[in-house]
Amino acid sequence: MNLALFDLDHTLIADDSDVQWARFLIKRGLLDGETHSRQNDAYYQDYLNGTLDINAYMAFQMAPLGRHDRATLDRLHADYMVEHILPVIPAKARQCLAAHQASGDQIIIITATNRFITGPIARELGVDELIAIELEEDESGNFTGRPRGVPSFREGKVTRLMQWLEERGQTLASYDKTFFYSDSRNDLPLLSLVSHPVAVNPDETLRAHAEAQGWPVISLRD
């Protein structure tokens, strides 16, 4: 059996799910657009530059989740999926997943976006296994607006994957081939571990690295 790992934002979807969630909340009047957009743009530039402070970003991005009860958030997310996510899922991404599924591969989406946002997206894509940033909940099951555990970002993706494998009594060597599809330089730690790294619509740094290493460079955009 093979293991096929997929990043989510700008890989399986042609946008950033965190950014789109904020835009959705702004459109609904639940976030101040000017203030949030300015700060989010600064964090996103840090991400592109490979200098993002993941803890500061998580605190910023998750704060709105602590302002609403879970039932309200779930209703909002259903609308967000229809308005912001379904339109940016390329057919090529679904086809790539289907090809791995047809081969009987174990598929995991591994993302630096939180589970609340990405869980329904993974289900829409037909992927049962998701490694994402986990959220702290209070005794009522509502989000506190704080993360918990190791964030699945950069080297944290490696840590979280190794935890996932260990829980199942496995290692990467348990699989015949290991794939990882990603667009970002931030995923070089995990891309460098798998047997079949694939750069998907990559940023400039990842493209240069992939070309130097002879890794495939593909597009999953329609």
The catalytic site residues sit at 7, 9
Neighbours of 33 (CB within 10 A): 13
Taking residue 171's Cβ as centre, other Cβ atoms within 10 Å add up to: 10
How far apart (Å, rounded) are the C-alpha atoms in residues 15 and 89?
9
Spatial contact of 118 and 109, defined as CB atoms under 8 Å apart: yes
Strand 217-218 versus strand 106-114 pairing type: unpaired
- Residue 91 to residues 14, 98, 104, 165, 199, Cα–Cα distance (Å): 11, 10, 20, 30, 18
* Count of other CB atoms within 10 angstroms of residue 136: 14
Alpha carbon distance 38, 153 (integer Å): 22
CA distance 203 to 168: 33
